[in-house]
Amino acid sequence: MGILSTIASFFGFGVGTSLGLVIGYYLFMYFQPTHVKDPKIQPLVERDSKTLQQLLPEIPSWIKNPDYDRLDWFNKFVEYMWPYLDKAICKTARSIAKPIIAEEIPKYKIDSVEFEELTLGSLPPKFQGMKVYTTDEKELIMEPLLKWAGNPNIIVEIKAFGLRATVQVVDLQVFAAPRITLKPLVPSFPCFANIYVSLMEKPHVDFGLKLLGADAMSIPGLYRIVQELIKDQVAKMYLWPKALEFQIMDPTKAMKVPVGILHVKVIKAVKLKKKDLLGASDPYVKLKLSDDKLPSKKTTVKYKNLNPEWNEEFSVVVKDPESQVLELSIYDWEQFGKHDKMGMNAIPLKELTPDEPKVVTLNLLKTMEPGNPENEKPRGELTVEVLYKPFKEDEMAENVQDSNAIEKAPEGTPTSGGLLVITIHEAEDVEGKHHTNPYARLIFMGEERKTKYVKKNRDPRWGESFQFMLEEPPTNQKLYVKVQSVSSKLGLLHPKETLGYVDINLSDVVTNKRINEKYHLIDSRNGRIQIELQWRTP
């Protein structure tokens, strides 16, 4: 009977379960509950003001504010990268927290504080939008809106007086509006030297806290006290204008700050080949350092002379003596048309011994390309004297501490005057009726200078500097800058067009020593031009 009852109960269970599943499926498919209604879909315009006010905080910022951009693509990127970002962020957090903890625990008689577990969980943060600011300085400013409801597992082990306690942080929620500044921008990857993070307002922080396995936040009043304490402490440390700084690279190396001065004396040239059909040539020398954005320095012109002597001295700033070379070129001056190049050569700075003058005689070449047969033809010789003087340790420290400091005017500058340096950086939204090949033309005290023209570009970048040695400060002078477009073809009907101009009073630069601003171009719809002015005194 025992065996028969067991078999019967087994079959009864199987039949009953199968029959119950069939009946349950039938009831689920063909009978709808009467107390459950379909959700009502209603357009936002039909909602009352109270409902809209309740929904407003949940609407993304890029809908409410046109200054913010959508970041769907970035959220997708963070989602894919989150497992790796989790490990990297936790590793950085450990390294930052370790020295802070080691400094603080002796004050409270605590033996040790260590992370037993540290992971940010599987849920990545979401960015609701981002605002980007443009400034006239070498920096990038971003303000993302961050919302993160995560599932981290952070367990901190505390040992004191022979006892051990664990504190666990779970169910973390953070709503924050940080400001992230990348500066200075440098010409070396990743193109910025430091990251500064500030909070524009107190963050919203919510979390669960377990002490010895029990929910500490359930203690009456403790939850609000802890939450407000964290908000106040975080705001005290990082609320703008205070910031958390991360150094990515050494800005002095990235920006290649000056490390010395190269003194060059152009002595003479011999056996130059004449370029003019009638008579001798009119030679002059141009010299500059490679990777230097400043314009070339020039000697005077020696008219009708194939064996000229100059004995003129120049000084140039050295930023990388291991890679930079002194480029020397001789040109034949022409009153009209292009000046013909008579020859060139270069001196690598790494071949110079610091603080030792060296006289070098160079064979003039057609080009610096090695193996070019044109270089075998005689073109004359150029003799120069060079002296590289590196900065001392204290001079380097002063240079590094104030990277925005204005350089002093070179030797020979009038005591009551100075050097006016005008840098034409770039322009925006310039447009012509017939062509847009813009260049900048500047006129100062009757002297005219021009930048190169940029072909087919409404946002040209020039980055060219012009220098004027003055007997007295230009307090009552004005700088006239005009942006023009030149036809890249024959352009008989429309050879040139004016794209806008600006008049700048120079009294401010004498007072402030340096101005870097974007000016709206007159007679232009939306055009702007960025000009940097420096007044350097002896």
501 contacts 482 by C-beta, under 8 angstroms: yes
pLDDT at 385: 93
Query: What are 341's strand-pairing partners?
Result: 331
User: Does an H or E element contain 27, and which?
Assistant: helix 2-30
pLDDT at 214: 61
Q: Smallest Cα–Cα separation from 440: which of 340, 334, 333, 527? A: 527
Reply yes or no on whether the pLDDT at 463 is more than 70.
yes
Minimum mean pLDDT among 103-112, 366-375, 478-487, 498-507: which range? Answer: 103-112
**% of the chain residues with pLDDT over 70:** 76
The mean per-residue pLDDT over the stretch 189-193 comes to: 77
400 contacts 361 by C-beta, under 8 angstroms: no
Higher local confidence (pLDDT), 402 or 215? 215
- 208-231 pLDDT, tens digit each: 777 766 666 556 666 667 667 766
Q: Smallest Cα–Cα separation from 244: which of 252, 234, 230? A: 234
**For the chain, how big is the Rg over CA atoms in Å?**
36
The mean per-residue pLDDT over the stretch 37-63 comes to: 68
Q: Give dist(CA 425, CA 532) in Å, integer.
A: 7
Supply 265's token pair: 């004396």
Supply 188's token pair: 């070396």
pLDDT-derived band at 91, boundaries 50, 70, 90: confident
Reply yes or no on whether the pLDDT at 72 is more than 60.
yes
pLDDT at 110: 77
How are the residues of the chain apportioned to helix, strand and coil, as percentages rounded to the nearest 5? 25, 40, 35
Residue 195, classed as helix, strand or coil, is strand
pLDDT at 400: 44
The mean per-residue pLDDT over the stretch 276-302 comes to: 79
Task: Give 217's DSSP letter.
Answer: G
Q: Give dist(CA 331, CA 342) in Å, integer.
A: 5
The mean per-residue pLDDT over the stretch 240-261 comes to: 71
- pTM of model > 0.85: no
| DSSP per-residue codes, 139-192 | -EEEEEEEEEE---EEEEEEEETTEEEEEEEEEEEEEE-EEEEEEEE-SSTTSE
- Edge-first strand order for the sheet with 297-298 is 297-298, 283-289, 325-332, 340-348
pLDDT at 397: 46
* Tokens 């040695």 -> residue: 469
pLDDT at 215: 62
Q: Look up residue 102 and give its amino acid.
A: A
In this structure, the number of other CB atoms found within 10 A of the CB of residue 169 comes to 16
In this structure, the number of other CB atoms found within 10 A of the CB of residue 69 comes to 13
Minimum mean pLDDT among 16-30, 232-246, 420-434: which range? Answer: 16-30
Four-point Cα dihedral 351, 352, 358, 364, nearest 10:
40
pLDDT at 531: 92
Reply yes or no on whether the pLDDT at 278 is more than 70.
no
Reply yes or no on whether the pLDDT at 480 is more than 90.
yes
Reply yes or no on whether the pLDDT at 253 is more than 50.
yes
Q: Which runs of consecutive H residues, i.e. helices, occur in 239-392?
A: 251-254
State the Cα angle at 111 between 110 and 115, rounded to 5°.
Answer: 95
pLDDT at 482: 94
Task: Give 68's DSSP letter.
Answer: S
Reply yes or no on whether the pLDDT at 1 is more than 70.
no
- Cα–Cα distance list, 63 to 68, 130, 148, 159, 203 (Å): 8, 12, 19, 50, 22
Supply 151's token pair: 């599932």
pLDDT-derived band at 445, boundaries 50, 70, 90: confident
Four-point Cα dihedral 515, 516, 521, 527, nearest 10:
-170
pLDDT at 2: 53
Q: Name every residue whose Cβ is closer than 8 Å to that of residue 410 and which is 6 or more positions away in sequence.
A: 315, 419
The mean per-residue pLDDT over the stretch 141-157 comes to: 84
Q: Name every residue whose Cβ is closer than 8 Å to that of residue 461 and which is 6 or more positions away in sequence.
A: 425, 426, 454
pLDDT at 63: 65
Q: Look up residue 503 and give its amino acid.
A: D
Q: Average pLDDT of the chain?
A: 79
356 contacts 387 by C-beta, under 8 angstroms: yes
Q: Give dist(CA 427, CA 424) in Å, integer.
A: 9
Query: What are 478's strand-pairing partners?
Result: 505
Minimum mean pLDDT among 49-53, 299-303, 330-334, 479-483: which range? Answer: 49-53
- 102-125 pLDDT, tens digit each: 777 777 777 788 888 888 888 888
Minimum mean pLDDT among 11-20, 310-319, 417-426: which range? Answer: 11-20
- Cα–Cα distance list, 470 to 89, 313, 485 (Å): 55, 19, 30
Reply yes or no on whether the pLDDT at 403 is more than 50.
no
pLDDT at 500: 92
Q: Smallest Cα–Cα separation from 264: which of 423, 90, 416, 383? A: 383
Reply yes or no on whether the pLDDT at 401 is more than 50.
no
pLDDT at 70: 83
pLDDT at 252: 57
pLDDT at 384: 93
